[in-house]
Amino acid sequence: MASGTLVAWVAFNIFVLGLLALDLGVINRKAHVVSFKEAAIWSAVWIGLALLFNGFIFFWRGPDVGLQFFTGYIIEKTLSIDNIFVFVLIFSAFAVPAAYQQRVLLWGVLGALVMRGLLIAFGAVLISTFDWVFYVFGAFLVITGARMAFHKEGEIHPNRNIVVRLARRIFPVTDGYEGARFFTRRHGLLYITPLLIVLLVVETTDIIFALDSIPAIFAVTTDPFIVYTSNVFAILGLRSLYFLLAGSVSRFAYLRYGLSAVLVLVGIKMLVAELYHPPLALWLGLIVAILGASIVLSLARPPKPDAKAEDLESASINSPTPAS
């Protein structure tokens, strides 16, 4: 294979499936409220595993490819923070109990891994077949980054989601949550629960985010193995990162502008690729500096308390658990 070996691809996917099986079948077998401490521990575990794999890439493929993985991972990890802003809105709009949120995100991660794998494969084929697609991706990122800077998150309207509307036409929906179940039977009929509706919204939202993040990492490398593995590690840590940051997203008022600047920067890099190739280390340093500055500025100049935002965050992470 042009990038990685067949053994590496198979071994990596077996490793990821093993982690997910352990997570789903043992660690999070029962629905529970994820504490800040638990989220912090698991965030450290996922970041640690990504860095260990980065070390493996460094010794296997060399420092250049190792730096490509690290840069791609940083980009995907930081862009995933934007997902968290939207997840807070989704869980608040549906009043999802805190104990069930981790189940939705876990299955959301499984779906995201499949969809992103397909999108990465499709993107790699496009770039290798049509050179001009690389510049299309660059222009798309510049436009997306600019829109992000001026766009404010609004309310979630699930009735406008085509997938949700289709599911509601096919299956009857229960009035309330049925524990952590996505399906239930009543009078011999199969019903879907509001928790499945939430999952569908999360999955379709992630597809939209993937359209931003996947082209961004192609600016770092067109090696499918590095693009895929860095994406996977970023996604695996998304759930714990959500529970770590969900209660404080409104305090990072300027982070969105930092993410916007990163997308624009990545897009410009793709557009001028034939004219100028900055050292990857310098480019990584610039990305880290932009994100660091946006975080420091957010902490130094916190926004005025927004009652609506605080209510959204509180409802998202502290919703009481109804009886099953």
User: Does the residue 7 lie in any domain?
Assistant: no
**Residues sharing a CB contact under 8 Å with residue 24, sequence separation 6 or more, in sequence order:** 106
- In the predicted model, what is the mean pLDDT of residues 50-64? 94
User: Does the residue 154 lie in any domain?
Assistant: yes
User: Does the residue 82 lie in any domain?
Assistant: yes
What is the tally of structural domains in the chain? 1
pLDDT-based confidence at 250, cuts 50/70/90?
low
Beta-bridge partners for 184: 191
User: Does the residue 12 lie in any domain?
Assistant: no
Residue 294's alpha-carbon distances to 95, 258, 289, in angstroms, are 30, 5, 9
Lowest mean pLDDT, pick from 33-37, 128-132, 248-252, 293-297: 248-252
Give the whole-angstrom CA distance, residue 7 versus residue 136: 33
User: Does the residue 310 lie in any domain?
Assistant: yes
Lowest mean pLDDT, pick from 59-63, 226-230, 270-274: 270-274
Give the whole-angstrom CA distance, residue 297 versus residue 88: 22
User: Does the residue 173 lie in any domain?
Assistant: yes
What secondary structure letter does DSSP report for 189? E
User: Does the residue 26 lie in any domain?
Assistant: no
What secondary structure letter does DSSP report for 251? G
Identify the domain containing residue 314 by its residue range: 36-318
pLDDT of amino acid 275: 75
pLDDT for 254 beyond 70: yes
